[in-house]
Chains A and B, each alone.
Chain A
Amino acid sequence: MSTARQVLLLGAIALAIVGMCHGTWYAVFAEHQALDRIGESLADAFTLASERNVAQMPAALAAYRDAKYAHERQVDAHGHWIGLAMLLIALGMAFDRVALAEKQKLALAIGLLAGATLFPLAVLLQIFSHGSLPRVLTVASSGLMIAMLAITALGLSVKSSTFLRK
């Protein structure tokens, strides 16, 4: 089996395990609390509105926004890590059919794995930093992933079209 295929298969399964560990940690230790925070802060904002306490309302709404922002990114990171890992396993199985040289395939496999690892990580980083760096990293890693996937598709289509013509 080629090194590129090994990199993709082992890396992808490891990535799926990382995604599962993250999901399990989040479900056990953080999700229920996060959902409670989202609900409570929104309810607080409306309760304050009913009491005509205008001064306190923005703080309650900001707490709601922040809690929801963090929760959505945690769920997105979990889903994307596992989803991308499964895609990479499927691609890994078909990788010997990609019409490229071994060195190029290895570079492609590393690129795919890097994109699949970094994209959810960058989404997670957005919780801790609202600056531009995590957003730039998100765009760059998703761009890398799409570019690598397009090259893989092209490489596969060359061999597939040859096979289908036969």
Chain B
Amino acid sequence: MLLLGGIALILAGMIFGDIFAVFVLHQNAARVGAGLSAAAQAALAGDSSSVGAHFRDVGAFLENRGTKVDTHVHMIDFGYLALLLAILQPWVAFADKTKRGFGWMFLAGAWLLPVGVFFIHYVGLAYSPLRAIGWASIFADLGGGCVLLATAAYLVGLCIHFRSPVSVPDGLLELRTNAGQRLLAGGLVLVVLGFGHGAYYAATDLYRHEAQDYQILSRMVAGSASQDAVLVDAALAEYAELQGDKAVKIAAHAHIIEFGLLAMILAFFQPYVNLSEKWKLRWVVVLLAGSVLLPVCVLFELRFGLFAGGLADVGGLMVIVALVAMWSGIVRYTGRLDVGPEIAS
């Protein structure tokens, strides 16, 4: 249940992310830029009432973008956590029924939180009993609470198991396949690369970006106050460039690590993928190639524009297709178990 539910969450999160990247992300960024530009022009013209209106628009666009990114990230991360908890199940010292109950609680929360977050932008504060938090946020927090409780319960189950002298064989972890070894090694390399890139970003860009953000906005505001249209336009262009630079570097860092982690987790499930060895290896190659292609192309998006963006989407699609193939292999395996032990053996 956790295994199939986890992969379903990851797939849903990835497909949502792809749709968001293609149809919403760039258009939304353009609207945010246009809103900020309109606010700066209004300030330049001395029209203070329009400034507030334009910033309300910018706030709405940013909320739209932020909630969609959060939906994408939480869905995928809960999927990863579900897979990890699935592997740990033999060591959780609860009855099967109790474990299943916590599994349902985890999956319910793991869907409720991202769906709730998605609706924050559309529901707003309508009929909310609270001043700052709307119903969608309340349901999202409830989902987070369910995931938290279920994870804590599994931790307690693990602690009880580790305290007891009874040893449970972890057959799944003992099994090794070629595909699994390659996924584990490839995933670890991706994670190390992502860490290296993150450290490089933190050392060279993070604080510089933060300082630039403040300096550019200061110039924009000063230009508006002194009615210097040239300064305002230059600052607006610089600001858009900065946001783009920041976004691609953070996205590349996050995606390479997430894909590395996914590959490592999937390594443990390879014995359950009911496909021939040759096809298992092919899907491993597709998954790892897509995992490299997406972050690398995202990183070059500012230099090569739509070409790199399109290739990044192809990388994302490769990961999704490989994941669907592995998922269907696992479904075939569970189907074989359902048919009967004779066939399964």
Contact = CB atoms under 8 A, between A and B. Distances in A.
Contacts of B218: 58, 61
Interface string B75-109: 00100110010011001000000000000000000
Interface in A49-93: 49-54, 57-58, 61, 64-65, 68-69, 79, 82-83, 86-87, 89-91, 93
Given A51-B48, A57-B222, A150 B81 contact: no
A145 to B, nearest CB: 7
A82 B141 CA distance: 16
Contacts of A13: 151, 154-155, 158
Given A50-B43, A61-B218, A28 B133 contact: yes
A14 B155 contact: yes
Contacts of B151: 13, 16-17, 20
A42 interface: yes
B225 A93 contact: no
A27 B176 contact: no
B254 to A, nearest CB: 8
Nearest to A149: B192
Interface stretch (B9-17, B178-186, B285-293, B322-330): B178-186
A1 interface: yes
Contact of B188 (A17, A86, A153): A153
B261 interface: yes
Interface-central residue, B141, B147, B261, by most chain A CB under 10 Å = B261
A9 B195 contact: no
A57 B225 contact: yes
Contacts of B182: 164
Contacts of A156: 184-185, 188
Given A90-B84, A152-B188, 17 more contacts: A17-B151, A20-B144, A24-B141, A24-B148, A27-B137, A48-B221, A49-B221, A65-B213, A83-B77, A90-B268, A96-B173, A142-B202, A146-B192, A149-B191, A156-B185, A160-B184, A163-B181
